[in-house]
Chain A
């Protein structure tokens, strides 16, 4: 059967429409989010981190006690009960409140220090490794000098000059905190910059910034994330060490680090809860960050997109 030509309608060819992407366009982070949602390990980590953060904010309000209120006498060293969920410490203070109050300090310090280390370390190490030659030589010798200085001296001086406070703690933590990151990134970039795909990109005219952003840094993400999850507990324990110098948060506020420090002798006595709870939540935090880091690594890894 013949169909009359007039029955046909000419389809308009619009150039713009042909180029259009039917799927809604995604930014990089949307893309990460979508894929992360499918990664149960990463999601699990994220959920735990959010829960811990929530408890750090809300935990201290959940009981009638305050972190400083003491009960000298029979209220000391009580085991966990319905009264005191995590027991009490050697001055009769409620461990539940103190644990979550400590979480505020420790989580803030851990995360902020890690982020600062990340930014400085990646930039510094990236530039050093990428530039190579004399620049690399000099930049790395500066790292050596900072590494060689006695940290305690630096911190005591900082304390004398800046006075105690949360900002001083963070400065003290980051003075040397980024060195490991810088050396790691530099080592990776040294290795990667000679790989074929980087050369190819360079031949195609990619500039330094693009090379770094699209090729070198993303391919170093794995080790960076690992080192970052190591920075968090490091910072938390370093804070306890700094409070030894009078730099940390002032008593009666306690961080996880100082709580663990103070509870050490319970290994010989029976008051296990004083050591157990801070260590438990610290471990949980790290576990969550590690799981999240692993998930993120899988998601960010360019090779996994195939």
Chain B
């Protein structure tokens, strides 16, 4: 999988998504009583988190730590809804352009300072200050004048966030954004202790200068080695926190991680401790479990490179992939053959169902060789080709991507009688190639920014920053524009369904599978929350006697 940095922001309600639940997920059931030593060893960090400053953090691993040592105005619940956290309550005005947050009285920093509204104002403006070079500044472009301030067209005072008093934060938005409240659980929007950060710019670099406000404190940070979190007794909800300590050793090699898990040195973890080749075995034996991850793996066709200038040929190639065989025999992590572009786990906000259940299946799970072959022949006739131009699949170096490419190469040989070549590149070289259009077929995994189909659909508009296929369709652009300009969920969802119909007819991309999140957890680990965005929360976790 890509070393993709995701940013997780939840939208509205989602039906709980944990499936194959069994033990581990939130249930209080299970063997012995509470263990005397409430220490959890977590195998989810592969290497040094780049930064624990909300301003600079951009990746999952930093995010995991930040979610525990810091806390935003809200926290994401297991249902995907924002729950009160630093903010005790909030009011949203009618057209969703103004939100007032009331920060709880007993909210404290680990250095004893009270958490104030000013800390939030300071932190957000700090992210938006262009001099600070925050990668995720755009997460705050929702604020009134946020983007203008960032571009130097407005002053800091004009930005729509204001501490009315110590405990009241007023937020003004650029346009109606009904889901803004759920965005406040994301780490870029977490507060920063103003007096600490102003005194020491590098306050977040070491454990001893770190000041947080989350359920745990950053007790130890041995660089390149491990992070240790301890229970924060001053946390407003400290009664709910049962773990005294969380150890987060950095484990760079999954084979090592799995042996550490077997030896009992690690109690819980994700692919950091699950070697790819063992996933199936562990799932089959019931040792590992999985949850849906709302993300998609797909191949993209460069529509400006022959032969993929032709719609029928693109469709033929997409149809000739046996997705079932790929998830069952190649990736083997319980993934779902992709039936369309928007993955599972993404809600349809109009019908209160999952998006995948309210749309047609555009692609059959198995290959359709006859139809595909016919389409290919038609396409070639349209273009007047006797021989198909040579085709190469590009992928970035990774054993998983290689296996998928090798399997698809064989499927196209078998089902279409087409010989394609494979070419791998180092990650950044690969990015350069795909972003500059120097490819025919490339792979990509896409994770959402927030739980709404839009985070996927707006990718393919003409000239979109991430539209590497060069696909361009006026009708599609219009539909996306329509969905973006309205706050009416029915209208939005309908426009996006229509856009997906079009996308899957034009087929500039071939969806392959929807992701799963596979994890290992010892029986004595309880109360871990697996959130709908595939992130994790240990706030209420505990261990029972072994």
Contact = CB atoms under 8 A, between A and B. Distances in A.
B421 to A, nearest CB: 7
B489 interface: no
B426 A245 contact: yes
Given A91-B407, A251-B405, A268-B278, A246 B397 contact: yes
Interface in B239-263: 254-255, 258-259
Given A68-B410, A262-B399, A265-B275, A250 B423 contact: yes
B89 interface: no
Is the contact region of chain A dominated by helix, strand, or loop, or is it mixed? loop
B406 A156 contact: no
B255 A156 contact: no
B405 to A, nearest CB: 7
A252 interface: yes
Contacts of B254: 265
Contacts of B424: 243, 246, 250-251
Nearest to B281: A269
Nearest to B405: A251
A244 B397 contact: yes
Contacts of A159: 429
A266 B276 CA distance: 11
B460 to A, nearest CB: 27
Contacts of B41: none
B15 interface: no
A267 B259 CA distance: 11
A252 B422 contact: yes
Contact of B255 (A90, A262, A268): A268
Nearest to B401: A251
Contacts of B361: none
Q: How large is the interface on B (under 10, 10 to 19, 20 to 34, 35 or more residues)?
A: 20 to 34
Interface string A64-81: 000011101100100000
A251 B397 contact: no
A72 B255 contact: no
Interface string A18-42: 0000000000000000000000000
B329 A72 contact: yes
Interface of A: 68-70, 72-73, 76, 90-91, 156, 159-160, 164, 243-246, 250-252, 262, 264-269
Interface of B: 254-255, 258-259, 275-278, 281, 325, 329-330, 397, 399, 402-403, 405-407, 409-410, 421-426, 429-430
21 contacts: A68-B406, A68-B409, A72-B325, A72-B329, A76-B329, A91-B406, A245-B425, A246-B429, A246-B430, A250-B421, A250-B423, A251-B406, A251-B424, A252-B406, A252-B409, A262-B399, A264-B255, A265-B254, A268-B255, A268-B278, A269-B278
Given A265-B276, A268-B258, 13 more contacts: A69-B410, A90-B403, A91-B403, A91-B407, A246-B424, A250-B421, A250-B422, A250-B423, A250-B424, A251-B405, A262-B399, A267-B255, A268-B259
